[in-house]
Amino acid sequence: MVLDSDKVRRKIESIQDLPTLPSVAREIIAMAQSPKTNASDVGKMIEKDQALMGKVLKLVNSSFYGFPGQIKSIQHAVVIIGFNKVKNVVMTASVFDLSKGRKANLLDMPGHWEHSLGTAIGAQIAARAIGGSLQPEDAFVGGLIHGLGKLILDQYLSDEYQTVRDIIEEKKCLINEAEKEHLGFTYSTVGTWISEKWKLPSLLHNAIRFHLTPMKAREDREIVAAVHIGNILSRALGVGNPGDDRMPQIDPALWSYYNLSYKFLDESIATMIEELQKAQDFFDMIER
């Protein structure tokens, strides 16, 4: 019997210990929407959380951004690498903590976050290639949180999710296909509920909601496309554990819409391999 998604949503939203973004991360997202935000504002906000500040400084000084050991303060980081990249770092450090202290039931938690980080890097690369008004840093954050729904399903619908895992094993199918068959909805649907609860900007909300079905997005299609591609690039390179071992294809309609080519894929994969090698400090933050 397929579950009633409305009942499941009400059940999930009534849970008292449902994960929430740390206040600093929420403030940073809000500040990103304002053209009046300056380096001092960002620095003061992040400095409220000393543990987070330490993580941020470690990551902005990593080889991923090309300024190893040169950045001494958050304000300096904003000036040198830009507010949007600092936002990426804050979000990375914050979302990894969502599963801290929580025992995974069926989900390979470290593998999940590794795949999410790989998707973030892939989405950022895809965003640069797609062009348009999309900021690559926004695509990074969209990729990082695209799989939030998997965490919720693992924590709060573990019995039903066991059946999903059984279907994946039996039919050798994609995780979203198994979810659709047994639950009647996918992890992207659950992630959409969480993004609404967190009041995320529509850009990120739509990236979570439509990355599996990118051509259904009527708005913010660039970020949806970038996260869709980033997810597949991460899978192609075997980064982390997306929940199955299948290899989906880029949506053919999206491929045509953006006039993508095999050259684009080859160049994106080559770039991603380079950037993954430089992102070791990010991967080291994942709790194992």
Considering 77, 100, 123, which residue would you say is the last residue of a domain? Answer: 100
Q: What is the pLDDT of residue 177?
A: 97
Q: Which of 100, 133, 149 is the last residue in one of the domains?
A: 100
Q: Please check whether residue 7 lies inside any domain of the structure.
A: no
Confidence band of 166 (pLDDT split at 50, 70, 90): very high
Side chain identity at residue 155, one-letter code: Q
Asked if residue 285 and residue 273 are part of one domain, the reply reads yes
Distances (CA, A) of 187 to 117, 176, 281: 17, 7, 28
User: Does 242 have pLDDT greater than 90?
Assistant: yes
Look at residue 5 and tell me if it is in a domain: no
- In a domain? residue 2: no
Structural tokens at position 75: 């304000």
Choice among 33-37, 153-157, 197-201 with the minimum mean pLDDT: 33-37
Q: What is the pLDDT of residues 264-276, one digit of tens each?
A: 999 999 999 999 9
- Domain tally, the chain: 2
What is the distance between the alpha carbons of residues 17 and 153, in angstroms, rounded to a whole number? 14
Same domain, 260 and 123: yes
For residue 27, give the nearest of 40, 55, 51, 46 by alpha carbon: 46
68 & 193 share domain: no
Q: Are residues 48 and 126 in the same domain?
A: no
Percent of the chain residues topping a pLDDT of 90: 69
Question: Sorting pLDDT into bands at 50, 70 and 90, what band is 1?
Answer: low
Average pLDDT, the chain: 92
- Sign of dihedral through CA atoms 42, 44, 48, 52? positive
Question: Is 197 among the domain residues?
Answer: yes
The residue segments making up the domain with residue 92 are: 20-100
Structure tokens at 129: 């290639």
Structure-block tokens of residue 156: 């709060």
Residue 234 counted as domain residue: yes
CB 240 within 8 A of CB 111: yes
Residue 247 CA, chain-centre distance (Å), reads: 19
- Quick one: average pLDDT of 125-153? 94
